[in-house]
Amino acid sequence: MAGENKWAIRPEETPVIRPRRLRSTAAMRRLVAETRLHPAELILPVFVREGISEPVPLAAMPGVVQHTRDTLKAAAVEAVEAGVGGLMIYGVPEVQDAAGSEGTNPDGILQQAIRDVIAEVGDEIVVMSDLCLDEYTDHGHCGVLAEDGSVDNDATLARYAEMAVVQADAGVHVVAPSGMMDGQVRVARRALDEHGHTDVAILAYTAKYASAFYGPFREAVGSSLKGDRKAYQQDPGNAREALRELELDVAEGADLVMVKPGMVYLDILSAVAEASPVPVSAYQVSGEYAMIEAAAANGWIDRDRAIMEALTALRRAGAEQILTYWAVEAARNLRQG
């Protein structure tokens, strides 16, 4: 017949099952959403630097600064007001040495910052601290070096045990061993318990990969690293190894576990989340943050949508907590709907 559209679907082909019905309006999409973000699931990483009088902006991480002790307290209050669930504090000392001595100095910058934040916000937010030596060593590695220049695993464990205790003495709620030393969770748990800190929890960096996406973070903590950390961080090609690390960390007393980085290791995050008997966190690392900020600054992507999409991906893959430099901004956006 003239004018008939030969490509039109026949009546018997009219779809009966139409998934688009559940995408029709914003209200419908909210109703059936499978993955939801909540401000309380977000953890804000913060840097506090010794010997500065004003915050120092980080060139590779627009909007992120190295805080003074006073501005860190203000940032903690801001995070509480936004409904953020936790703070992860990293200390940046004035002096570094081979042993990372400032990491175990009771009056070191990290321990002072912990006391400051606890005094300011108390238990209104979970205060966490990085338990690693790379910020404090003049060689930039996460542990003590042996004579041949390699990282001495067991000598490093002794330093970690001492660090755990001084951080707990300062009042921290959670310590986070991040150096990927064998046995780090076990020695931290034993040291905490032997010194009366049985209530201090451990967030284990369980699957921490030797990633190219940590670059901007090195600026943030003033790292002096020469070379790489491939001898102790995981190989990016390995997946099964992450599950072995999970099993060990849980057996050694980890209360929470982490996958780092997040976005480019969603498969690892999903596998760990499926297997883990304890809560699972993911770290949206500095390089991931920097890429989105740079692309948005060039007008290549919608910044706000990209941020929330990236966070949703981590949550969808199984992260129950997400460390992100956008924690306060994202929390505010979530609360505003």
260: annotated active-site residue = yes
Residue 303 CA to residue 309 CA, distance in Å, equals 10
Which of 6, 73, 208, 226 is catalytic? The answer is 208
Residue 62 CA to residue 289 CA, distance in Å, equals 9
Instruction: Give the tokens for residue 243.
Output: 């599950």
Q: Position of tokens 């000598």?
A: 155
Rg (CA), the chain: 22
3-state secondary structure labels for all residues of the chain: CCCCCCCCCCHHHCCCCCHHHHHCCHHHHHHHCCCCCCHHHEEEEEEEECCCCCCEECCCCCCCEEECHHHHHHHHHHHHHHCCCEEEEEEECCCCECCCHHHHCCCCHHHHHHHHHHHHHCCCCEEEEEECCCCCECCCCCCCECCCCCECHHHHHHHHHHHHHHHHHCCCCEEEECCCCCCHHHHHHHHHHHCCCCCCEEEEEEEEECCHHHHHHHHHCCCCCCCCCCCCCECCCCCHHHHHHHHHHHHHCCCEEEEECCHHHHHHHHHHHHHCCCCEEEECCHHHHHHHHHHHHCCCCCHHHHHHHHHHHHHHHCCCEEECCCHHHHHHHHHCC
208: annotated active-site residue = yes
Active site positions, annotated: 208, 260
